[in-house]
Each structure stands twice: as structure tokens, then as C-alpha cells.
A = this chain, B = another copy of it.
Amino acid sequence: MHRLVTLTRDPIFDSAYISQRSMSATMGAAVSFSGVVRGHENGEAITAIEYEANEPMALHQFDILLDLIEEQWPMIETVRIVHRLGKVPVGEPSLWLEIIAPHRAEAFASGQFLIDEMKKSVPIWKKMIG
């Protein structure tokens, strides 16, 4: 399984990531997800979220999750994850990910698994900016 995990302070241009996609002829499904900063958090208006990460540990914990994905869905060809750090303004993605798999079921299931699990184990925190 190809793994690309990126933590970056630059804006996430998901269309650029998608135009770089490569799939072999046995792959039939690509699911991608963009998590975008919303204008309200817990009922309060915000202008941005500032993301902080324990970077080496975050990369390692993503790798542990990718091991689990590889075990559970061995046919997945590629998982790409980009998490932005620092100040992310409302309307911009903080997270982008993509799964390439033979069939849609495993792409959807593993994508949801990855997001659910990263929110438990990958050391990234947010701070609302009013």
C-alpha cells in the first residue's frame, strides 16, 4: 500500500492533489474527503482554527492507523493524508484524504475508519480563533 502522510502549514489545494492521482488498472474507486473549517464551533462564531501537532508522534500514529487499514483492507492501493497545521481560516480545508481501492465499499469504509480513528489517536489539537 502506498502511503503519503503530510503535515503542512500551507493551504491544502485538493484539486491539485487529485490531479496528481495515479491508479493502476485494477483499481476502480477513489474516495476523497475534505474537512473544512466552519464559521461556528460549539455555537460561537470563529474566524479560524489554529492546529497544533506533536509532529513526529502524529506521523507515527497515522502510520499505526495505516497498518490497521492495510490489514483490514489488503486490496487498497493508496492512502494519501494531508493535515494542515497553524491557522486555518474558515472555509479552508484542514484535512484532506484519499483512498484508492478496487471497489467503492472498501474505499468508503476505510476512509470513515481513518477519520474516526485519527480523531482518537493522532496528537493534533485545535484552538478556536474568534
Sort chain A's interface into a size bin.
20 to 34
**Bound Cα distance A35, B29 (Å):** 5
User: How many copies make up the complex?
Assistant: 2
Is there a chain B Cβ closer than 8 Å to A66's Cβ?
no
Q: Shortest CB–CB separation between residue A31 and chain B, in angstroms?
A: 5
Task: Tell me if B26 and A38 are in contact (CB < 8 A).
Answer: yes
Task: Tell me if A28 and B37 are in contact (CB < 8 A).
Answer: yes
- Segment with Cβ contacts to B, from A1-9, A10-18, A79-87: A10-18
Task: Tell me if B30 and A90 are in contact (CB < 8 A).
Answer: no
* A 17-37 to B, binary, CB cutoff 8 A, 1 in contact else 0: 011000101111111111111
Task: Tell me if B28 and A35 are in contact (CB < 8 A).
Answer: yes
